A and B are shown apart, each in its own frame.
Chain A
Amino acid sequence: MRSSASGSSLPGVRQSLGIAALLCVACGGPPPPAPSAVISADPASVCLGDDFATEIALDAGDSQSHLTLVPVAPDPDEPPLALSWSFAGAEHRIVEGDVHAQTLLVTTRGDRPLHVSLHVENSEGGEADALLSIAVTPCP
Chain B
Amino acid sequence: MRRVTLALLLVSTEAGAAAGTHLGDSSRAAALAGSMTARTGDAATLVENPAGLSDVTEPMVMISAQGARLEQWFARTDEPRDDRGRWLGSFGLAVATPLPGPEWLSRFRVGFALDLPAEHALRVRVLPRRDAPLSPIYDGRPDRLSTVLGLGWRALDSLHVGAAVTLTPALDTPTDVTYVAGRGDTPDEEVVVRLDRNLRYAVAPLFGIRSDPWPFLSLGLAYRAPSISRASGDSRTAAGGILADDPIDYFQMWNPAELAAGVAVKPGADLGISADAVWSRWSEMRDGFNQRLAQPFESTVSLRGGVEWRGVRAVALRAGYAFEPTPIPEQVGDTNYLGADTHTLALGGGIDLRELTGAPLKLDAHVRAQLGGRQHADKRISALTDAQPDVPGRQIDNFGYPGFESQSHLLQAGLTLTLFVGKESKP
Q: Complex Cα distance A131/B248, Å?
A: 23
| A17–B123 CB distance below 8 A | no
Q: Given A15-B5, A19-B7, are A135 and B191 also a contact pair (CB < 8 Å)?
A: no
Is the Cβ of A3 less than 8 Å from the Cβ of B3?
yes
* Binary CB contact string for chain A from 100 to 126 against chain B (1 if under 8 A, 0 otherwise): 000000000001110100000000000
Query: Which B residues are CB-close (under 8 A) to A88?
Result: 79
A138 and B381 CA atoms in complex are apart in Å by 9
Which stretch of B83-91, B101-109, B239-247 is in the interface? B239-247
What interface size band does chain B fall in?
A: 35 or more
Does the CB pair B122–A70 fall under 8 Å? no
Is the CB of A86 closer than 8 A to any CB of chain B? no
With A10-B244, A14-B235, A70-B188 as contacts: A115 and B193 at CB distance below 8 Å: no
Judge if B40 is at the interface, Cβ distance under 8 Å. no
Within the complex, what minimum Cβ distance (angstroms) separates B140 from chain A? 16
CB of A81 within 8 A of chain B?
Answer: no
- Give the CA-CA distance A14 to B381 in the complex, in Å: 33
A133 within 8 A of B: yes
CB contacts (< 8 Å) of B7 on chain A: these are 15, 18-19, 22
Contact, CB under 8 Å: B175 / A18: yes
Chain B proximity of A5: nearest CB distance (Å): 9
Contact residues of A between 16 and 42, Cβ < 8 Å to B? 16-19, 21-23, 25-26
- Rounded to whole angstroms, the CA-CA distance of A133 and B336 in the bound complex is 16
State whether A115 touches B396 (Cβ < 8 A): no
Give the residue name and chain of the A residue nearest to B239 (CB): A10
Contact A136 B396 (CB under 8 A): yes
Counting CB contacts under 8 A, is A83 at the interface?
A: no
Binary contact readout B207-241 vs A (1 if CB under 8 angstroms, 0 otherwise): 00000000000000000000000010001010100
A residues adjacent to B (C-beta < 8 A)? 1, 3, 10-11, 13-19, 21-23, 25-26, 44-45, 48, 68-72, 88-89, 111-113, 115, 129, 131, 133-139
Q: Give B82 Cβ to nearest chain A Cβ, in Å.
A: 8
Using a CB–CB cutoff of 8 Å, the interface residues on chain B facing chain A are 1, 3, 5, 7, 9, 76, 79, 120, 122-124, 126, 128-129, 173, 175, 177, 179, 186-188, 190-191, 193, 195, 197, 231, 235, 237, 239, 242, 244, 246, 248, 381, 387-388, 391, 393-399, 401-402
Find B1's partner among A13, A23, A72, A133 (CB 8 Å cutoff). Answer: A133
Q: Given A10, A131, A137, which contacts B129 in the complex, CB threshold below 8 Å?
A: A131
A16 to B395, CA, bound (A): 27
Given A18-B235, A25-B197, A133-B399; A11-B246 close (CB under 8 Å):
yes
Among B1, B3, B124, B195, point to the contact of A26 (Cβ < 8 A).
B124
| Nearest neighbor of B401 in chain A, beta-carbon distance | A112
Q: Name A66's closest neighbour in chain B (CB-CB).
A: B188
Q: Is B187 a contact of A10 with CB atoms below 8 Å? A: no
Which DSSP category, helix, strand, loop or mixed, fits chain A's interface? mixed
Of the A-B pairs whose beta carbons lie under 8 Å apart in the complex, a sample of 11, sorted by A's number, is A10-B239, A10-B242, A18-B235, A22-B197, A23-B126, A69-B188, A112-B401, A113-B397, A136-B396, A136-B401, A137-B396
Q: How far is the CA of A69 from the CA of B180 in the complex (A)?
A: 13
Contact call A45/B188, Cβ cutoff below 8 A? no
B388 touches A45 (CB 8 A): yes
| Chain B residue nearest in CB terms to A70 | B187
Q: Are the CB atoms of B122 and A115 closer together than 8 Å?
A: no
Closest-CB distance, A10 to chain B (whole angstroms):
5
Alpha-carbon gap, A80 to B175, bound state (A): 33
Q: Is the CB of B397 within 8 A of A134?
A: yes
A-B CB proximity, top 10 nearest = A133-B397, A135-B395, A135-B397, A137-B393, A70-B187, A69-B191, A113-B397, A21-B195, A135-B387, A26-B124
Tell me, rounded to whole Å, the shortest Cβ–Cβ distance linking B325 to chain A: 30
Across-interface contacts of B381 in A (CB, < 8 A): 138
Is the Cβ of B237 less than 8 Å from the Cβ of A135? no
Partner of A21, one of B129, B197, B246, B387: B197
- Is A17 touching B395 in the complex (CB atoms < 8 A)? no
A68 in contact with B237 (CB, 8 Å): no
List of A residues within 8 angstroms of B231 by Cβ? 22
Q: Are A113 and B396 in contact (CB under 8 A)?
A: yes
B393 touches A139 (CB 8 A): yes
Q: Complex formed: what's the CA distance from A127 to B120 in Å?
A: 22
B76 touches A89 (CB 8 A): yes
Across the interface, A19 reaches (CB within 8 A) one of B126, B388, B393, B402, namely B126
Q: How far is the CB of A72 from chain B (nearest CB, A)?
A: 6
Residues of A contacting B235 in the complex (Cβ-Cβ under 8 angstroms)? 14, 18
